[in-house]
């Protein structure tokens, strides 16, 4: 158990809809990262938050947004969903810049 909690585990929704994925980092970790894993693109970095502030953005679409709350949990919002957004979305946290990322079990999103 990595200590990172992601909910829900599975999400099935229709094109055009909006969903919210939630992540609770390991206790004490201030950094939260979101990654998307799809068959063709592999593990792609989306966004990084540190203690409530956005620190870096990767290949994140404008339809996607995220935030980190004062209690350090994070949410990834995906809107105007398309079939191609179907993927496994991982949240990870770390305690410092050189420590490993500890990943949650992921949220599998299926857009139909």
Partner 1 sequence: AQKVTQAQTEISVVEKEDVTLDCVYETRDTTYYLFWYKQPPSGELVFLIRRNSFDEQNEISGRYSWNFQKSTSSFNFTITASQVVDSAVYFCALSEGFFTGANSKLTFGKGITLSVRP
Nearer to partner 1, 20 or 37 (CB): 37
Q: Is 5 in the site for partner 1 (CB under 8 A)?
A: no
Q: Is 83 in the site for partner 1 (CB under 8 A)?
A: no
**Single residue of 33, 66, 68, 78 touching partner 1 by CB under 8 A:** 33
**Single residue of 8, 43, 69, 112 touching partner 1 by CB under 8 A:** 43
Q: What is the rounded distance in angstroms from the CA atom of residue 31 to the CA atom of residue 26?
A: 10
**Single residue of 15, 59, 99, 112 touching partner 1 by CB under 8 A:** 99
Which residues of the shown chain bind partner 1 in the complex (CB under 8 A)?
2, 30-31, 33, 42-43, 45, 48, 50, 55-56, 58, 88, 90, 92, 96-106, 108
């Amino acid at each position: 158990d990595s200590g990172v909690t992601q909910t829900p585990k599975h999400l099935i929704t229709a094109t055009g809809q909006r969903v919210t994925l939630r992540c609770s980092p390991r206790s004490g970790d201030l950094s939260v990262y979101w990654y998307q894993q799809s068959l063709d693109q592999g593990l792609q970095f989306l966004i990084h938050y540190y203690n409530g502030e956005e620190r870096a953005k990767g290949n994140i679409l404008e339809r996607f947004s995220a935030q980190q709350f004062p209690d350090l949990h994070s949410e990834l919002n995906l809107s105007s969903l398309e079939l191609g957004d179907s993927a496994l979305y991982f949240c990870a946290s770390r305690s410092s810049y050189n420590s490993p990322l500890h990943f949650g079990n992921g949220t599998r999103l299926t857009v139909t």
